[in-house]
Structure 1
Amino acid sequence: MNYKHPWVYHGEAPKAGRKLLLLQVDELTFSLPLIYRLIHPAEIAQKSDWFSASIVTADEKQNTQYIMLVELLQRVTQERKKQTNLIEPLTHLNQMLNQYFSDYGWRMVRKELSQIKKRQKKSHIELSKDLIAKLKSYMEQENLDSFDQAIDNLLSEVESFNGSDLQEASN
């Protein structure tokens, strides 16, 4: 179950483009550290346009919204670790985040989350120069554009080769 929490715009909602979403359950593991870092009062001073006007003008030492937001983040973190129903605490957290950030700020947060997601999908492996040269040669031979395509193609060939071996053995 993945509930979509739409962003409630403070100003006028954009007429084109993708609608902003608040946090989703499957994003919590990598988004919570980012949110903790971004909500800190020191960040408010540096990136005031990322936050709602009430947050920017609040007294830094008695920022009750910051305190409440940290408590909600801790609660969501605990519930996630317990693997209990996160819908209710996540809904409260998202409502609070919607009040805390400006439209522009949340767009920037989503941009950073997108970059984090992208980095997590990629993995870096080290290959020797001679193996890279062989892969490049194979890519030219097969008219492939990337190492991903070349490796995927090679793995597919191996799978089909192994599959045909199994069929011959069973006949």
Structure 2
Amino acid sequence: MFMKKADRIAIYQVLFHSGVMFAERSPQMMHTDKELKHLTNLQVTKTMKSLKSSGYVTEQTAWRHHYWCLNNEGIEFLRAYLHQPAEAMPITLQRRTVPVRMPRTSDDPRFRDGPRDGKERDDRSTYRRSNPPTGRELDKTGNVGAGSANMEFRGGFGRGKKDY
């Protein structure tokens, strides 16, 4: 497929920067990445297909999307093609300086107030108790609506009926 060199370089730069690329299978749609808004999914797909045939990316397909991941040979190829320094790496291979952790201390507003509405923390265990704190028995199978009566089999059509 004929494509401008500037468009191919734009695809290569986005791929080298992030380490992964995706495209939807609808070829006429414009690509959703903000750096590649001027390109169609067909152009991105065909460029990535040429990289895949050279062994620089691995392809994965799920539903209506293609996903490509840059491998080590592809990193070396794009580094040379885009004239990047040797220490330049895709974001997927860079280590984070600060680890991402979910706060689980009392400073977190989700854990500050304790149980909501004065209820116990484990509402399900209090519901399933046979003797609630009020002291009266609960019949959990009593008034459940349709289907609360005992099951009765009267025969009928279908499997299991034998007429001899």
Q: Output the TM-score relative to the length of structure 1.
A: 0.21
Structure having the higher Rg:
2
Higher helix share: 1
Greater relative contact order (Cα 8 A, min sep 6): structure 1 or 2?
1
Q: Output the TM-score relative to the length of structure 2.
A: 0.21
